[in-house]
Amino acid sequence: MTRLQANLLLLLAGMIWGLGFVAQSTAMDKLGPWTYTGVRFLIAAAALLPLAQREARRDAQPLTRRQRTGLAAIGCFLFAGSILQQIGMVTTSVTNAGFLTGLYVVLTPLMALTLFRVRPHAVVLVAAPMAFAGIAMMGGAHLGPLSPGDLLVIVGAIFWSLQILFISRFAADTGRPFGLSCVQFAVAGGLSLIGALLLEPFDPPAILAAAPEILFAGLVSAAIGFTIQSFAQQYTSGPQAAVMLSSETLFAGLFGALILGERLGPVALAGCGLIFASMLLVELGPPLMSPRRHPDA
């Protein structure tokens, strides 16, 4: 697979996730966030289990302890990012949730410095203020207040950043995209159902009422979208992957307008543009500023 093909697959994943924001929002009219998140990820894990088992049988080398630990950590990060996003969407719009989740593109270099001592490019010092200025504009062109849902989605973006970093650092070398996806879904789904049992009533009629959203989120947004991410990140660089995946923010706004009738005013639209510009600056700025550097660096 070429780098271009991989990046186009990541763009497809971004489109799938952007549409998934709509399903997540409408599901909250019928079901609690913990139950919804748990059921969707367990459906995704069950759908991929046969493929993951087949993949494991074909691989003569068993996973190392480091790789198994990395897969479990990725599942925990997926759980934290997903549940914070889902709870946050109770009090924020699909468009806001989409753009604020996209902050992981800005946060990823900062998390790399904190955890792995990988120094971010100087362009981050420009992009980070741009992103948070965009957030303020989306909230009404002032520094506050953001809604509680907005704040939860922003915290969730930290865990989405960790998920991307750990896929690149611990799991991409396994060569098992189906196994990676299946494990992270099982971990995230299991942790979410534990929360559902403790915090939400068990309501089978509500689960049936939300079945279309759950099935889309489990089989399409999760099983297909995240597996595309796991597969394509083996063939493209981290910066290119982050840029293509950040397209989910634009698709979330597009589908929020087309399907749910959400609208953004001129200032909020400018804020969305500023956030997306900061994402592009973080990921495309360094290679543009260093033209002699190898594109895979």
pLDDT, tens digit, 9 for 90 and up, residues 224-269:
998 898 888 777 666 566 767 777 766 776 777 777 676 767 877 7
In a domain, 41, yes or no: yes
**CA angle 22-18-190, nearest 5°?**
75
CA–CA separation, 189 and 42 (whole Å)? 5
Q: Residue 70: exposed, middle, or buried by beta-carbon count in 10 A (0-12, 13-18, 19+)?
A: buried
In a domain, 291, yes or no: no
In this predicted structure, what is the pLDDT of residue 187? 96
In a domain, 172, yes or no: yes
In a domain, 295, yes or no: no
In a domain, 173, yes or no: yes
Decide if 86 contacts 68 (C-beta within 8 A): no
Structural domains counted in the chain: 1
In a domain, 293, yes or no: no
In a domain, 247, yes or no: yes
In a domain, 187, yes or no: yes
CA distances from 235 to 10, 102, 144, 169, 178 (A): 11, 22, 41, 14, 15
Instruction: Give the tens place of pLDDT for each residue, 21-58.
Output: 777 777 777 888 899 999 999 999 999 999 999 988 88
Residue with tokens 């947004």: 221
Q: Which domain holds residue 128?
A: 3-286
State pTM to two decimals.
Answer: 0.81
Instruction: Give the tens place of pLDDT for each residue, 153-193.
Output: 889 999 998 988 888 776 667 778 888 889 999 999 999 99
Handedness of CA 118, 123, 129, 130 (dihedral sign): negative
